[in-house]
Chains A and B, each alone.
Chain A
Amino acid sequence: MRFDTVIMGGGLAGMIAGIALQQAGKNTAIVSMGQNALHFFSGTFESLKEPDERLAALFSAAGIRVHYREGVRLMPLGTFKKAALSLEDIDIFPNAKIARRVLIVNFLGYHDFFSSFLAEGLEKHGIECRIRFLSLPDLDNTKAHGEMRSVQIARSMDRIWEKVVQEIRLMLRDEDTVVLPQVFGLSDTTVPGRIRQSLPARVVFAGTMPPSVPGIRTQIQLRRRYQLLGGTFLMGDEAIRAHEHEGVVHSIATNNLDAHYLEADSFILATGGLFSKGLRSNPFQISEPILGLDVDHPENRNNWYNPAFAEEQPYMGYGVKTDAQLHAVKEGVTLKNVYAIGSILGNTRPELGSGAGLAINSAFAVVDTLLAEK
């Protein structure tokens, strides 16, 4: 099967590149080994700059509503972190003093939302907190099998969010703000906004443990947009090998299509970092498994990690080597038609949460290079 560009990796970077290329009239395929890092997405694209027109247009065509404001956001454990460009349902505050009195509401039996940590964190900023648990018969099914996860609750919430609003009305005393877990608006994106309108207090949605409901929604929206533009999305398949001749890759083999190769003029590697298996490690080296690209990391394994577990870990920053245009490099030779984007580039700093920003900016940079070629 022949394409203009084959993208390996169906996460944020791969899908942004795919959508932008399809929009420009190119014929592309995305090969995605399982679901992606958007399932752990906080809802904030920490690119720390205002979205340009092109990104705003891409998001709005996909139905993704974002807002931009420099400030801080409430984290799942009650801390605050710098934030700017975010999904619309994530609040950005000028500072950590977000309210005077807060009602934190959780669902009985749901252990992936840390209401006590949230209260502890907010109380440090002089905010009074009260925690209440909601018990809804509609969630009994979910509770019964012990897998009470964000997505299971979210599926019910699309139907019964109004009941939740009624219950919260009865619970509210003099609180000016209600904090709720981020389990609303999975398929009906208007729900978070409607909850906000229906309560007499400000509503803040705080993150849960994965899977991330706003992240899954974003991934569904991007994939739908990509396929609507005619892109070929190969879900659950894995690029396993590239066929290269004199610095040019002409096709790749995948796990599912075995001898049926995917041919293209150019290839984009967006398979993610160590966490997403875009990079692999063993005790002797860190490698890129599909093309065998050069990976930037110190020889000595003892330098890869910091023995203080909670400190910044050097290995988190490792990535493949590229030139200034993000061409990938193999055994010191620049591959003319292979580009690397997203977390596989390395140098992402988890403490800044710069993954989403890197994904978007590197994807657009490579799309510009490809479109300028002919």
Chain B
Amino acid sequence: MKLQEYTTSAHNFEECMKCTVCTAYCPVLQVNPLYPGPKQAGPDGERLRLKDPYFFNYALKYCLNCKRCEVACPSGVKVADLIQSARIKYDTHPPKLRDQMLASTDFMGKLARPFAPIVNAVTDLGVTKKTLDMVLDIDHRRTFPKYSGRSFEGWLKRRSKEQAAFPEQVAYFHGCYVNYNYPQLGKDLVKVLNALGVGVQLLDDEKCCGIAMIANGMAREAAKHAQHNVDVLGKAVSRGLKVVTTSSTCTLTMRDEYPELLKVDNSAVRDSLLMATRFIYEKLEQGATLKFRADYHKKVAYHTPCHLEKLGWGVFSERLLRMIPGVEFTMLASNCCGMSGTYGFKKENYEASQAIGAPLFEQIKAVNPDVVACDCETCKWQIEMSTGYPVMNPISILAEALE
């Protein structure tokens, strides 16, 4: 009796009742015939793998880890976690050089930053793209994110005194993208939070959240980053600080992938880790106010990134954008853009990646906005490259609209 009442299974896989709803929402299944789909790769495959690891299928690498199967599942099965866990457990191939390079976002950032203008010029060259394609299987049709000559950390450190003067304080997990590629987003966040009377602090030596490592067969390295970050976040939390982020994927990784996939206990910090959009919305709900420019006008189409959809926090970005007078808001239908971090850079995934994003690109073109708003940096690269429309984080739009 007890057995029947209390039985539980890893990632809830025994709750699967084979309804096939997940297969209707998997973006990969529609475009890649080599991928077995979330039901077979997830709960169905898990039963077999538990019998014999022989049944592990290397085609599981085609999973984007977009979590749309989990959002759709009516039974609470963690389908994507099952698939990623199986890859971590059973995939014994060492990662290729290319995958190691793509996965090491903060290491590559540190290397590239001092030579940013040269690196940016070189990665833009057709001949570089051809070479990367031939030697490393990084698709030549991709546009590479630019590196910034100055890091965000350096910028904020120079302002630490002025930030410390604000009556309320938060810590900011900026992530690799803001630090090495696009410090402007971090500066925009500081502007908005300062306007709310909140000063921004750096964490004590944050590392890459590790999602790219999880995706590229480097779970052991990812777990080291995870433990380091949980310790660093813990220090801020023990000082009574909330930690805000501007990347939906870093947030999902630190809140959910750490315990589910990497088995790193984050319970002491999980509830203090928030998307900045949620933090700002909650401040405004408690009575804080922001003053917006009277002459601001922008037609904004909002794309909910898959990982924000999984977090369930797209509603905060939506409400903040709708709050800005002068913003003409359109909600785009929820669709994966196809990029999924490092996935779209790989030559073998390029066609699938573009096919997955096609309905979203068409919708954006039909709406014809001034700007697409989105909380994910890799969606930004994909949408900008594939549609030509500029993409801004909602935080940057808030900052731009402020008086």
Is B truly associated with A? yes
Q: In the complex, how many angstroms separate the beta carbon of A48 from the nearest chain B beta carbon?
A: 27
Q: How many B residues touch the partner, as a band?
A: 35 or more
Q: Which residues of B contact A276 (CB under 8 A)?
A: 74
Q: Which residues of A contact B20 (CB under 8 A)?
A: 149, 209-211
Q: In the complex, how many angstroms separate the beta carbon of B179 from the nearest chain A beta carbon?
A: 28
Interface membership of B312, Cβ < 8 A: yes
Q: Which residues of A contact B33 (CB under 8 A)?
A: 140-142, 144-145
Q: Indicate with 1 or 0, residue by residue over A254-293, a CB within 8 angstroms of chain B CB atoms.
A: 1111111000000000000000110000110000000000
B285 to chain A: closest residue by CB: A1
Q: Which residues of A contact B5 (CB under 8 A)?
A: 282-283
Q: For chain A, residues 209 to 262, give those with C-beta under 8 angstroms from any C-beta of chain B.
A: 209-211, 216, 224, 227, 232, 234-238, 254-260
Q: Which residues of A contact B19 (CB under 8 A)?
A: 39-40, 210-211
- Across the interface, do B74 and A146 meet the contact criterion of CB distance under 8 Å? no
Which of A145, A216, A237 has the largest number of chain B CB atoms within 10 A? A145
Given A35-B72, A210-B19, A234-B315: A147 touches B29 (CB 8 Å cut-off): yes
Interface membership of A155, Cβ < 8 A: yes
Interface membership of A334, Cβ < 8 A: no
A155 to chain B: closest residue by CB: B30
Q: For chain A, residues 279 to 331, give those with C-beta under 8 angstroms from any C-beta of chain B.
A: 282-283
Given A146-B40, A276-B74, A277-B74: A152 touches B309 (CB 8 Å cut-off): no
Q: For chain A, residues 113 to 170, give those with C-beta under 8 angstroms from any C-beta of chain B.
A: 140-142, 144-147, 149, 151-152, 155
A282 to chain B: closest residue by CB: B5
Q: In the complex, how many angstroms separate the beta carbon of A180 from the nearest chain B beta carbon?
A: 20
Q: Which residues of A contact B113 (CB under 8 A)?
A: none
Q: For chain A, residues 95 to 116, give those with C-beta under 8 angstroms from any C-beta of chain B.
A: none
**For the complex, what is the distance from the CA of A237 to the CA of B72, rounded to whole Å?**
10
Q: Which residues of B contact A216 (CB under 8 A)?
A: 24
A151 to chain B: closest residue by CB: B24
Q: Indicate with 1 or 0, residue by residue over A80-103, a CB within 8 angstroms of chain B CB atoms.
A: 000000000000000000000000
Q: Which residues of B contact A155 (CB under 8 A)?
A: 30
Interface membership of A36, Cβ < 8 A: yes
Interface membership of A34, Cβ < 8 A: yes
Q: In the complex, how many angstroms separate the beta carbon of B343 from the nearest chain A beta carbon?
A: 18
Contact of A39 among B1, B24, B39, B282 (CB under 8 A): B24
Q: In the complex, how many angstroms separate the beta carbon of A134 from the nearest chain B beta carbon?
A: 19
Interface membership of A33, Cβ < 8 A: yes
- Across the interface, do A34 and B73 meet the contact criterion of CB distance under 8 Å? yes
B33 to chain A: closest residue by CB: A144
- Across the interface, do B312 and A149 meet the contact criterion of CB distance under 8 Å? no
Contact of A260 among B25, B40, B282 (CB under 8 A): B282
Which of B5, B24, B29 has the largest number of chain A CB atoms within 10 A? B24
Interface membership of B4, Cβ < 8 A: yes
Q: For chain A, residues 178 to 223, give those with C-beta under 8 angstroms from any C-beta of chain B.
A: 209-211, 216
Q: For chain B, residues 287 to 320, give those with C-beta under 8 angstroms from any C-beta of chain A.
A: 309-313, 315, 319
If over half of A's interface residues share one DSSP class (helix, strand or loop), that class is named, otherwise mixed; here it is: loop
Q: Which residues of B contact A142 (CB under 8 A)?
A: 33
Q: For chain B, residues 322 to 363, give those with C-beta under 8 angstroms from any C-beta of chain A.
A: 331, 333-334
**For the complex, what is the distance from the CA of A74 to the CA of B75, rounded to whole Å?**
30
Interface membership of B162, Cβ < 8 A: no
Given A34-B72, A145-B29, A147-B23: A235 touches B309 (CB 8 Å cut-off): yes
Q: Which residues of A contact B278 (CB under 8 A)?
A: 260
Q: Which residues of A contact B221 (CB under 8 A)?
A: none
- Across the interface, do A33 and B74 meet the contact criterion of CB distance under 8 Å? yes
Q: In the complex, how many angstroms separate the beta carbon of A218 from the nearest chain B beta carbon?
A: 13
**For the complex, what is the distance from the CA of A238 to the CA of B340, rounded to whole Å?**
25
Q: For chain B, residues 212 to 241, give those with C-beta under 8 angstroms from any C-beta of chain A.
A: none
Interface membership of B76, Cβ < 8 A: yes
- Across the interface, do B74 and A256 meet the contact criterion of CB distance under 8 Å? no
Contact of B24 among A140, A145, A211, A255 (CB under 8 A): A211
Q: Which residues of A contact B134 (CB under 8 A)?
A: none
- Across the interface, do A259 and B271 meet the contact criterion of CB distance under 8 Å? yes
- Across the interface, do B30 and A236 meet the contact criterion of CB distance under 8 Å? no
Given A145-B29, A146-B40: A232 touches B309 (CB 8 Å cut-off): no
A216 to chain B: closest residue by CB: B24
Q: Which residues of B contact A36 (CB under 8 A)?
A: 74
Interface membership of B192, Cβ < 8 A: no
**For the complex, what is the distance from the CA of A260 to the CA of B30, rounded to whole Å?**
36
Q: Which residues of A contact B319 (CB under 8 A)?
A: 1
- Across the interface, do B21 and A35 meet the contact criterion of CB distance under 8 Å? yes
Which of A33, A216, A235 has the largest number of chain B CB atoms within 10 A? A235
- Across the interface, do B71 and A236 meet the contact criterion of CB distance under 8 Å? yes
Q: In the complex, how many angstroms separate the beta carbon of A238 from the nearest chain B beta carbon?
A: 8
- Across the interface, do B40 and A256 meet the contact criterion of CB distance under 8 Å? no
Given A146-B40, A282-B5: A258 touches B271 (CB 8 Å cut-off): yes
- Across the interface, do B76 and A152 meet the contact criterion of CB distance under 8 Å? no
- Across the interface, do B21 and A39 meet the contact criterion of CB distance under 8 Å? yes
Contact of B29 among A40, A152, A235, A259 (CB under 8 A): A152
Please name 9 pairs of A and B residues whose Cβ atoms are closer than 8 Å in the assembled complex, sorted by A.
Answer: A34-B76, A39-B19, A141-B31, A145-B34, A145-B35, A145-B37, A147-B40, A256-B312, A256-B313
Query: A36-B74, A140-B33 provided; 14 other pairs, C-beta below 8 A?
Result: A33-B74, A33-B76, A34-B72, A35-B21, A35-B25, A40-B19, A145-B34, A147-B29, A147-B36, A149-B23, A211-B21, A227-B331, A254-B312, A258-B271
- Give me the 3 closest cross-chain CB pairs, A-B, nearest first: A256-B312, A236-B71, A144-B33
